[in-house]
């Protein structure tokens, strides 16, 4: 067990842990954008830069593993300046539309902008803008707000099994999209809303109707009797309701304190049940333990649910017949795993 | 009508794909084959490549939009790519762009009315020793001067049976 | 220690691209010898290691050492990848080899593949090199016909296939992990290291990426032994180096000289000085992405890795760009910034946003309308890019421009102050300052923004904040 010193605090952590998690164990929060415990680190946002003594360059906390005797500074002037630089770059083209942005109040960019941002803008040029293209009827995409963390691409590929969205173009006009401007062909597409750290992907249903700081967030689960598609909802309805004066304004996945989703929820639970009677409130649900790894991908969840439902005899007697798996995974390239193929 | 490669070239795409452990690798070679046959690449061509290689179309779009070698619009018979990077700039590439615009009406990023020329400024083409230089379709032309450009352009105009003089 | 050419030895022989001519000059003899004598791959690696050959693509990593990182007991297939994606401004050495001597490269690729145990090799050429690609394709076809490539080569039991793969106009694909991504059909974006490609590269298999010039030197090293190769160069930089020289120079071209060759002698005798007899102003010695040098610094150094580093720059890829007194360095900076802004892959934040911003600020300066304190802002922004990116492209925009701004400050200050070039007396991008032009990037009136001392307080506030421990981010509903 290596012992590392993070901001003067000594902690003993398991081998192979990253600086980010070692710091969390030591009670030090390192900001992140592109890092998400569900995925392998990608290291492209550069906000988690930390200084490791004896190493010339600043290192990214989300990927660098700890070594015994490592001394890490996450909070000195050099690190602060680097993060301030990254914040400045991220905000260079970010529109100042927080007052009308649905993400405001739970936006990573706002939080870290407040801590690390320049108090003034030094950019004297027009902001880069993209034409607005949505992902279908339910998900609003505002590319101008995007910080290119690519969590949504990775979520779609790794967890939904859908090869549909990707990075287009190059350099500072690179853009996330499907190129063909179509909805994400998955029954779990809404999760990209929750995984987006900024307001680039938001819920069209709740658009402009409520502010998140007004909402009361209640963990809940969909009643079995209310499920139209039990194959998806069985493991895809552990949700969090956003209530305001007793009315549901939105449904999201449950998240820990770092705003990492506990699990995915299906689109039916997210978009189609706005009646409190459909839900069972689960007040005592655990929403504080940090998530350290990803859940099962959508395909496996569906298969599990299908098997159980068949055993319980509910599938064929159920109200709605679910599409067979072959149709669910009709999206091109589903299940393709490049790494596995060659090994 | 969706775009399709000729049967011969479809076969070539399949042959090229067999050189790699995975079809994904053949995206770029396949786009090169489309480019060589057609001269430009759009969404339909990408879809066709994706279908041939049996890969998700988005990966072809991703690759096609990343690499700047493939024009996404028709570029005329003679696609002039003039290097304006540091070595060519030092030896007067800007003058050549002006010269082509003023003398021949060849404007940047635009196909001329007769459909012959399209001028693009490009980054270093790796022939700085012969700066200023340009690439026209597949060929490099080095050590350019306004006189040499004049000669080349007149030659192409004649070649296209479109000479004005 | 006579001046002898190694990589370029046969390049001027007529018909060298034909296999028969190459074989007459002793070509493929080493490949045949290695296979017939069944030389251990390890022995080859040791030979290259002992020769002190270093990667000629820019980083200068010892080649033999790199080869030895391939896990020999790995059950996965191994790959050899030849980096012929030469796109660094000022560098054009590899093109000469590809077009004039492809067989020597091919022999190097074969020997390298044998040394690391790879059965497949790819030569990644940049898409624009159509002629070079055709030459290499032909060379491969000829070698295949002669039985040097294929299954069970020359009855040795060793299988090797060599394929070409063309890039498509992306400078970043010259970075080894980006090249591997590109070869996998993905966007050419660099990967995080570790794992290094030697362990996990092409489709997660061990992969070695070597530059053209590096591999082209391998057959000669195998032929004559490491001591022979080590007689040129210095203690740490052995052998010869190709220098591609361009810009305001009397005789541009590719030169092969031993490492450690005096820069002044090289410049004055081999290159013939600046063109038109002008005075030298600055030199970028290693392709556009290294620090610029003043004439004094340049003349004091020798052309090898250590000496150039000592005098404040890097050897890089050996693409020497010469600026004479008529060159406007502000214009040069804009051009360089344009290159990096255009070629940034868009993956990580500082490079994606920073390069474009630097370019726009330079365009402002060249339009004669810089923002207040433009020089400070530029330097500050470049500091924010430097060292914060995944791959060295972010550093590459900073090194030449920042060094020019530091070594020739008066020229930049003059342009910012007077709105015109100190050298040419012109405002190059004056048309950008006209408000009715669509390409006008600017907006609003100039304003003063606070300087460092004004926003320093926010750091203190932060230090106080975080020392209280982690801040829960999603506690809104718990409070209520």
Residue C56 belongs to domain with CATH number: 3.40.50.11540
The answer to whether the CB of C360 falls within 8 A of the CB of C432 is no
Cis, bond preceding C194 (omega within 30 deg of 0): yes
Instruction: Report pLDDT digits (tens) over C277-308.
Output: 999 999 999 999 999 999 999 999 999 999 99
Q: Is C188 on the interface with B (CB under 8 A)?
A: yes
Kindly state whether residue C346 falls inside one of the protein's structural domains. Answer: no
Task: State mean pLDDT over C109-121.
Answer: 95
Q: Is B51 on the interface with A (CB under 8 A)?
A: no
Q: Are residues C49 and C90 in the same domain?
A: yes
Q: Residues C258, C261, C265, C268: what is their CA dihedral angle, to the nearest 10 degrees? A: 60
Count of the separate structural domains present in chain C: 2
**Structural domains for chain A:** 3-90 (3.10.20.740), 129-203 (3.30.70.20), 212-329 (no CATH)
Return the CATH number at B55.
1.10.10
Q: Which residues in chain C have their CB less than 8 angstroms from residue A258's CB?
A: 473-474
Task: State mean pLDDT over A57-81.
Answer: 92
Find chains touching chain A: ≥3 CB pairs under 8 Å: B, C
pLDDT confidence of residue B162: 56
Q: Do A255 and C480 touch (CB under 8 A)?
A: no
Q: Are residues C263 and C157 in the same domain?
A: no
pLDDT confidence of residue C61: 93
Q: Are residues B61 and B82 in the same domain?
A: no
The answer to whether the CB of A162 falls within 8 A of the CB of A334 is yes
Instruction: Report pLDDT digits (tens) over A272-300.
Output: 999 999 999 998 888 888 899 899 999 99
Kindly state whether residue C291 falls inside one of the protein's structural domains. Answer: yes
Global confidence as pTM: 0.91
Instruction: Report pLDDT digits (tens) over C78-105.
Output: 999 999 999 999 999 999 999 999 999 9
Kindly state whether residue C438 falls inside one of the protein's structural domains. Answer: no
Query: What is the Cα–Cα distance from C68 to C422, expressed in whole angstroms?
Result: 52
Q: Is C445 on the interface with A (CB under 8 A)?
A: no
pLDDT confidence of residue A286: 85
Kindly state whether residue B2 falls inside one of the protein's structural domains. Answer: no
Q: Are residues C263 and C212 in the same domain?
A: no
Kindly state whether residue B124 falls inside one of the protein's structural domains. Answer: yes
Query: What is the Cα–Cα distance from C263 to C302, expressed in whole angstroms?
Result: 5
Q: Do B65 and A333 touch (CB under 8 A)?
A: no
Find chains touching chain B: ≥3 CB pairs under 8 Å: A, C
Instruction: Report pLDDT digits (tens) over A199-251.
Output: 999 999 999 999 999 999 999 999 999 998 899 999 999 999 999 999 999 99
Q: Is C113 on the interface with A (CB under 8 A)?
A: no
Collapsing DSSP to helix, strand or coil, C287 comes out as strand
pLDDT > 60? residue C478: no
Non-local CB neighbours of A329 within 8 Å, separated by 6+ positions: A161, A299, A335
Task: State mean pLDDT over A256-285.
Answer: 92
Task: State mean pLDDT over A249-255.
Answer: 94
Residue among B41, B66, B91, B143 with most chain C CBs within 10 A, to mutate: B66
Phi and psi torsions of B38, nearest 5°: -115, -30
Q: Which residues in chain C have their CB less than 8 angstroms from residue A167's CB?
A: 187, 346
Q: Which residues in chain C have their CB less than 8 angstroms from residue A169's CB?
A: 346
Task: pLDDT band for C31, please (50, 70, 90 cuts).
Answer: very high
Q: Do C335 and B84 touch (CB under 8 A)?
A: yes
Kindly state whether residue C4 falls inside one of the protein's structural domains. Answer: no
Q: Are residues B92 and B149 in the same domain?
A: yes
Q: Work out the angle at residue A308's Cα, subtended by the Cα atoms of residues A304 and A309, and round it to the nearest 5 degrees.
A: 115
pLDDT confidence of residue A125: 80
Question: Which structural domain, as residue segments, surrounds residue B149?
Answer: 78-160
Final residue in a domain of this structure, among B66, B90, B117: B66
Q: Do B58 and A169 touch (CB under 8 A)?
A: no
Q: Is B126 on the interface with A (CB under 8 A)?
A: no
Beta strand pairing status for A279-281 and A59-60?
unpaired
Q: Is A336 on the interface with B (CB under 8 A)?
A: yes
Pair of tokens at residue B158? 């004649």
The answer to whether the CB of C375 falls within 8 A of the CB of C406 is no
Q: Which residues in chain C have their CB less than 8 angstroms from residue B121's CB?
A: none
Q: Are residues B90 and B50 in the same domain?
A: no
Closest CA–CA distance from residue C125 to any residue of chain B (Å): 11
pLDDT confidence of residue C458: 40
Task: State mean pLDDT over C157-164.
Answer: 95
Residue among C170, C180, C205, C347 with most chain A CBs within 10 A, to mutate: C347
Final residue in a domain of this structure, among C324, C352, C380: C324
Return the CATH number at B97.
3.40.30.10
How many cross-chain Cβ pairs, B to C, lie less than 8 Å apart?
144
Q: Are residues B42 and B95 in the same domain?
A: no
Q: Work out the angle at residue C348's Cα, subtended by the Cα atoms of residues A79 and A291, and round it to the nearest 5 degrees.
A: 75
pLDDT confidence of residue C112: 96
Q: Is C474 on the interface with A (CB under 8 A)?
A: yes
Kindly state whether residue C428 falls inside one of the protein's structural domains. Answer: no
* Element at B13 (helix H, strand E): helix B7-17
Task: State mean pLDDT over A262-280.
Answer: 93
Q: Which residues in chain B have their CB less than 8 angstroms from residue A330's CB?
A: none
Pair of tokens at residue A137? 């009827």
Of C170, C203, C332, the CB nearest to B67: C170
Closest C-alpha to A94, from A128, A43, A52, A50: A128
Q: Are residues C248 and C220 in the same domain?
A: no
Which residues of chain B are under the pLDDT cut of 70? Answer: 1, 162-165
Which residues lie across from A9 on neighbouring strands?
Answer: A6
C 154-173 residues inside an 8 A Cβ radius of B:
161, 163, 165-171
Q: Which residues in chain A have their CB less than 8 angstroms from residue C76's CB?
A: 342-343
Q: Are residues B61 and B90 in the same domain?
A: no
Closest CA–CA distance from residue A56 to any residue of chain C (Å): 9
Average model confidence (pLDDT) for chain C? 88
Beta strand pairing status for A3-6 and A71-73?
parallel
List Cβ<8 Å contacts ≥24 apart for C178-182. Answer: C178/C345, C178/C391, C179/C81, C179/C83, C179/C85, C179/C124, C179/C209, C180/C81, C180/C207, C180/C209, C182/B28, C182/C124
Closest CA–CA distance from residue A213 to any residue of chain C (Å): 7
pLDDT confidence of residue C459: 41
Instruction: Report pLDDT digits (tens) over C347-378.
Output: 999 999 999 999 989 988 998 888 888 899 99
Q: Do C184 and B84 touch (CB under 8 A)?
A: no
Q: How many CB atoms lie within 10 A of CB C205?
A: 23
A 125-184 residues inside an 8 A Cβ radius of B:
163-170, 178-180
Q: Do B91 and C247 touch (CB under 8 A)?
A: yes
Query: What is the Cα–Cα distance from C180 to C174, expressed in whole angstroms?
Result: 10
Q: Do C441 and A125 touch (CB under 8 A)?
A: yes
Residue among C83, C185, C271, C339 with most chain B CBs within 10 A, to mutate: C185
The answer to whether the CB of B62 falls within 8 A of the CB of A167 is yes
Kindly state whether residue C439 falls inside one of the protein's structural domains. Answer: no
Count of the separate structural domains present in chain B: 2
Beta strand pairing status for C302-303 and C261-262?
antiparallel
Q: Are residues B82 and B149 in the same domain?
A: yes
* Element at B7 (helix H, strand E): helix B7-17
Of A85, A119, A169, the CB nearest to C458: A119
Q: Are residues C206 and C319 in the same domain?
A: no
pLDDT confidence of residue C2: 55
Closest CA–CA distance from residue C342 to any residue of chain A (Å): 6
Kindly state whether residue C477 falls inside one of the protein's structural domains. Answer: no
Kindly state whether residue C158 falls inside one of the protein's structural domains. Answer: yes
Average model confidence (pLDDT) for chain B? 91
Closest CA–CA distance from residue B151 to any residue of chain A (Å): 36
DSSP state of B80: E
Q: Are residues C215 and C151 in the same domain?
A: yes
Q: Which residues in chain B have their CB less than 8 angstroms from residue A163's CB?
A: 56, 58-59
Which residues lie across from A166 on neighbouring strands?
Answer: A177
Of B43, B59, B68, the CB nearest to A163: B59
pLDDT confidence of residue C436: 45
* ipTM score assigned to the predicted complex: 0.94
pLDDT > 80? residue C471: no
CA distances (Å), A290 to each of A63, C6, C454, in order?
A: 18, 60, 37
Closest CA–CA distance from residue B58 to any residue of chain A (Å): 6
DSSP string for C225-281? -HHHHHTSB-SSSBSEEEEEEEESBSS-EEEEEETTEEHHHIIIIIS-SBGGGPPEE
Q: Is B54 on the interface with C (CB under 8 A)?
A: no
The answer to whether the CB of A48 falls within 8 A of the CB of A93 is no
H-state helical runs in A210-324: 230-233, 267-271, 298-312
Q: Which residues in chain C have their CB less than 8 angstroms from residue A336's CB?
A: none
Residue of C nearest to A173 (CA): C346
Q: Is C150 on the interface with B (CB under 8 A)?
A: no
Q: Do A125 and C360 touch (CB under 8 A)?
A: yes
Ranking A140-154, A316-330, C110-124, C320-334 by mean pLDDT, the lowest is A316-330
Q: Which residues in chain C have their CB less than 8 angstroms from residue A75's CB?
A: 462-463, 466-467
Q: Are residues B105 and B49 in the same domain?
A: no
Query: What is the Cα–Cα distance from C312 to C461, expressed in whole angstroms?
Result: 38
Q: Which residues in chain B have their CB less than 8 angstroms from residue C185's CB?
A: 22-28, 55, 59, 63
Final residue in a domain of this structure, among C300, C324, C348: C324
Closest C-alpha to C245, from C300, C309, C294, C318: C318
Question: Which structural domain, as residue segments, surrounds residue C246?
Answer: 240-324
- Provide the percentage of residues in chain C whose pLDDT is more than 70: 89
Instruction: Report pLDDT digits (tens) over C431-462.
Output: 776 544 444 444 333 334 434 444 443 443 33
Q: Are residues B18 and B85 in the same domain?
A: no
pLDDT confidence of residue A118: 80
Q: Are residues C28 and C141 in the same domain?
A: yes
Q: Which residues in chain A have their CB less than 8 angstroms from residue C342's CB?
A: 171
Residue among C78, C199, C353 with most chain A CBs within 10 A, to mutate: C353
B 56-115 residues inside an 8 A Cβ radius of A:
56-59, 61-62, 65-66, 68
Closest CA–CA distance from residue B56 to any residue of chain A (Å): 5
Of C168, C327, C338, the CB nearest to B67: C168
Query: What is the Cα–Cα distance from A333 to B20, expressed in whole angstroms?
Result: 18
Sheet containing A238-244: give its strands across. Answer: A247-253, A238-244, A216-222, A279-281
């Amino acid at each position: 067990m290596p012992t590392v010193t993070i901001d003067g605090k000594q902690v003993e952590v398991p081998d192979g842990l990253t600086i980010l998690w070692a710091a969390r164990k030591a009670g030090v929060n390192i900001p992140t954008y592109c890092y998400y415990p569900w995925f392998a680190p990608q290291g492209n946002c550069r906000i988690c830069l930390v200084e490791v003594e004896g190493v010339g360059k600043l290192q990214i906390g989300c990927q660098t593993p700890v070594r015994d005797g490592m001394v890490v500074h996450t909070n000195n002037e050099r690190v602060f300046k680097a993060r301030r630089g990254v914040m400045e770059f991220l905000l260079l083209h970010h529109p100042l539309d927080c007052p009308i942005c649905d993400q405001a109040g739970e936006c990573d960019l706002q939080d870290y902008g407040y801590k690390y941002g320049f108090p003034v803008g030094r950019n004297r040029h027009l902001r880069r803008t993209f034409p607005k293209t949505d992902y279908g009827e339910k998900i609003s995409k505002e590319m101008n707000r995007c910080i290119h963390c690519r969590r949504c691409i990775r979520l779609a590929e790794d967890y939904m099994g859908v090869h549909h969205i990707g990075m287009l173009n190059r350099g500072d006009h690179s853009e996330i999209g499907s190129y063909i401007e179509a909805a994400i062909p998955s029954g779990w597409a809404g999760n990209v809303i929750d995984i987006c750290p900024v307001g680039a992907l938001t819920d069209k249903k709740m658009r402009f109707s409520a502010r998140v700081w007004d909402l009361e967030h209640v963990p809940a689960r969909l009643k079995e009797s209310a499920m139209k598609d039990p194959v998806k909802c069985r493991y895809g309805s552990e949700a969090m309701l956003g209530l305001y004066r007793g009315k549901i304004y939105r449904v999201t996945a449950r998240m820990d304190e770092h705003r990492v989703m506990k699990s995915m929820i299906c689109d039916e639970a997210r978009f189609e049940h706005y009646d409190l009677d459909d839900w069972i409130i689960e007040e005592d649900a655990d929403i504080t333990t940090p998530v350290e790894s990803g859940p099962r991908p959508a395909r496996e969840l569906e298969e599990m649910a299908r098997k159980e439902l068949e055993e319980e005899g509910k599938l064929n007697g159920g109200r709605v017949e679910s599409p067979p798996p072959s149709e669910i995974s009709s999206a091109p390239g589903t299940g393709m795993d490049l790494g596995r193929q060659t090994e | 009508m969706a775009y399709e490669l000729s049967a011969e070239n479809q076969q070539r795409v399949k042959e090229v794909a067999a050189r790699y452990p995975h079809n994904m690798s053949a995206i770029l070679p396949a786009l090169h084959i489309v480019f060589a046959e057609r001269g430009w690449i759009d969404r339909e061509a990408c879809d066709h490549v994706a279908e041939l290689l049996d890969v998700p179309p988005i990966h072809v779009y991703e690759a096609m939009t990343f690499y700047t070698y493939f024009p996404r619009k028709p570029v005329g018979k003679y696609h002039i790519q003039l290097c304006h990077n540091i070595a060519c700039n030092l030896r007067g590439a800007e003058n050549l762009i002006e010269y082509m615009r003023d003398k021949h009406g060849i404007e940047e990023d635009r196909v001329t009315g007769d459909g012959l020329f399209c001028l693009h400024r490009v980054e270093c083409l790796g022939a700085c020793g012969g700066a200023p230089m340009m690439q026209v379709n597949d060929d490099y032309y080095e050590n350019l001067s306004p006189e040499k450009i004049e000669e080349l352009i007149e030659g192409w105009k004649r070649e296209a049976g479109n000479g004005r003089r | 220690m006579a001046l002898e050419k190694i990589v370029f030895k046969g390049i001027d022989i007529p018909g060298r691209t034909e296999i028969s001519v190459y074989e007459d000059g002793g070509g493929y003899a080493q490949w045949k010898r290695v296979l017939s004598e069944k030389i251990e791959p390890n022995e080859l690696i040791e030979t290259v290691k002992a020769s002190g050959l270093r990667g000629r693509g820019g980083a200068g990593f010892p080649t033999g050492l790199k080869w030895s990182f391939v896990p020999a007991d790995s059950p996965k297939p191994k790959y050899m990848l030849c980096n012929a994606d030469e796109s660094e401004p000022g560098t054009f050495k590899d093109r000469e080899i590809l077009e004039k001597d492809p067989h020597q490269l091919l022999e190097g690729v074969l020997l390298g593949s044998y040394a690391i145990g790879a059965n497949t090799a790819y030569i990644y050429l940049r898409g624009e090199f159509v002629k070079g690609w055709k030459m290499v394709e032909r060379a491969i076809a000829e070698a295949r016909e002669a039985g040097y490539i294929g299954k069970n080569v020359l009855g040795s039991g060793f299988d090797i296939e060599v394929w070409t793969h063309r890039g498509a106009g992306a400078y970043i694909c010259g970075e080894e992990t980006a090249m591997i991504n590109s070869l996998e059909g993905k966007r050419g974006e660099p990967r995080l290291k570790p794992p290094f490609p030697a362990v996990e590269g092409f489709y997660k298999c061990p992969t070695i990426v070597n530059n053209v010039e590096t591999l082209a030197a391998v057959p000669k090293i195998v032929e004559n032994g490491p001591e022979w190769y080590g007689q040129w160069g210095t203690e740490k930089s052995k052998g010869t180096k190709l220098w591609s020289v361009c810009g305001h120079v009397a005789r541009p071209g590719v030169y092969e000289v031993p490492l450690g060759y005096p820069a002044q002698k090289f410049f004055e005798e081999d290159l013939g000085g600046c063109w038109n007899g002008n005075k030298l102003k600055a030199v970028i010695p290693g392709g556009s992405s290294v620090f610029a040098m003043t004439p004094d610094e340049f003349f004091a150094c020798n052309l090898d890795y250590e000496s150039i580093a000592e005098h404040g720059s890097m050897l890089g890829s050996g693409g020497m760009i010469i600026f004479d007194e008529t060159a406007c360095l502000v214009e040069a900076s804009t051009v360089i910034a344009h290159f990096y802004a255009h070629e940034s892959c868009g993956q990580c934040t500082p490079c994606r946003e920073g390069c474009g911003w630097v370019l726009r600020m330079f365009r402002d300066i060249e339009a004669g309308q810089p923002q207040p304190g433009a020089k400070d802002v530029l330097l500050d922004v470049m500091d924010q890019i430097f060292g914060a990116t995944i791959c060295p492209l972010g550093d590459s925009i900073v090194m030449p421009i920042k060094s020019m701004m530091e070594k020739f400050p008066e020229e930049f200050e003059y342009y910012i102050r007077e709105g015109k070039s100190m050298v040419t007396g012109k405002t190059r991008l004056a048309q950008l300052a006209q408000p009715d032009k669509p390409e006008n990037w600017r907006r609003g009136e100039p304003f003063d923004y606070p300087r460092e001392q004004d926003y320093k307080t926010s750091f203190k506030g932060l230090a106080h904040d975080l020392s209280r421990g982690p801040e829960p981010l999603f506690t809104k509903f718990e409070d209520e």
